[in-house]
Copies of this chain bind each other. A is one copy, B any other.
């Protein structure tokens, strides 16, 4: 049960502790034979360098922290996998915390992670939180942080995000090209940075194609299917139905479709629906859902690589990476 330490190995072979250490980190002078002998007996004795001790003496934990709003949905799960792939290859452990969309919890998580001495942080902020001041303070103190996904363009820090404006524009334009005349955008939370950008993209498409102001609308929903359903219910109640709906995400879209169908409204014959942030479900529902795919995996990888560079001081200036996606038209948004 007792752990084998470097001393035990040294004593066994009558060599010094230093020699054993050198054998394991082969950057120093050591004779090939002694090195091999040491490694061999260490193996036999079941010795491996104690990572905690290593962390202490090097003042590095080889841990990084990731704070996301949630990872129930595949979006952040996939991002995390991208991050893990990069960092595990470098021998790092990735600590994951979720803020449950609450800025207070996010801040608490960040502080916990910093206190547990992670070498760097990747943060996907919740709503546009007051936490930014705190993060910027840490950044200025030289702490490596990369922001991800829900970030302001103007933020003075390394960041990776999706070009929401552009792809919301494309999605909206697609609906216009399909000759839908009344288009509503179910916009998620308006206070979310990504929402603001997508609304802008949506409006830009409306303007470009000279859709009159009274023919489109931006309606605040939430992020959940239930909230999509609620909005549709309200619209039905108010006899205020458009002929096309563009949704903040696939969940909202699926909620909307379900509610429309249960009211005998056909998709896309009566009303077209377009999702966003494509999920695996798009092909499995009827009608198949048009959506914009985000490169989740790449977002994680890019953020991780930026952070890794920052940790190793090979990145001097904050860098921004803006990612593009893919618009796939399926059944839910086409005229027959």
Which of A's residues lie within 8 Å of B, judged by CB? Answer: 1, 3, 48, 50-53, 55-56, 59, 61, 71-74, 77-78, 80-81, 84, 93-98, 115-117, 141-142, 225, 254-255, 257-258, 261, 280-281, 283-286
Contact = CB atoms under 8 A, between A and B. Distances in A.
Contact of A77 (B59, B71, B284): B71
A254 B284 CA distance: 6
A96 B71 CA distance: 12
Given A52-B56, A71-B71, A141-B1, A98 B81 contact: yes
Contacts of A281: 254, 281
Total identical chains: 2
Nearest to A76: B77
Contacts of A117: 50-52
A225 B284 contact: yes
Contacts of A261: 286
Nearest to A258: B284
A91 B71 CA distance: 21
A263 to B, nearest CB: 13
Contact of A116 (B51, B73, B142): B51
Contacts of A81: 72, 98
A53 B56 contact: yes
Max count, chain B CB within 10 A of own CB: residue among A52, A116, A257? A52
A141 B77 CA distance: 34
A257 B285 CA distance: 9
Contacts of A95: 93-95
Contacts of A254: 281, 284-285
Given A52-B117, A71-B71, 10 more contacts: A3-B59, A48-B115, A51-B116, A51-B117, A52-B55, A94-B96, A225-B283, A254-B285, A258-B286, A285-B285
B285 A284 contact: yes
29 contacts: A1-B141, A48-B115, A50-B56, A51-B115, A51-B117, A52-B52, A52-B56, A53-B56, A72-B74, A72-B77, A72-B78, A73-B74, A77-B77, A84-B97, A93-B116, A94-B96, A95-B95, A225-B280, A225-B283, A225-B284, A254-B281, A254-B284, A254-B285, A255-B284, A258-B283, A258-B286, A284-B285, A285-B285, A286-B286
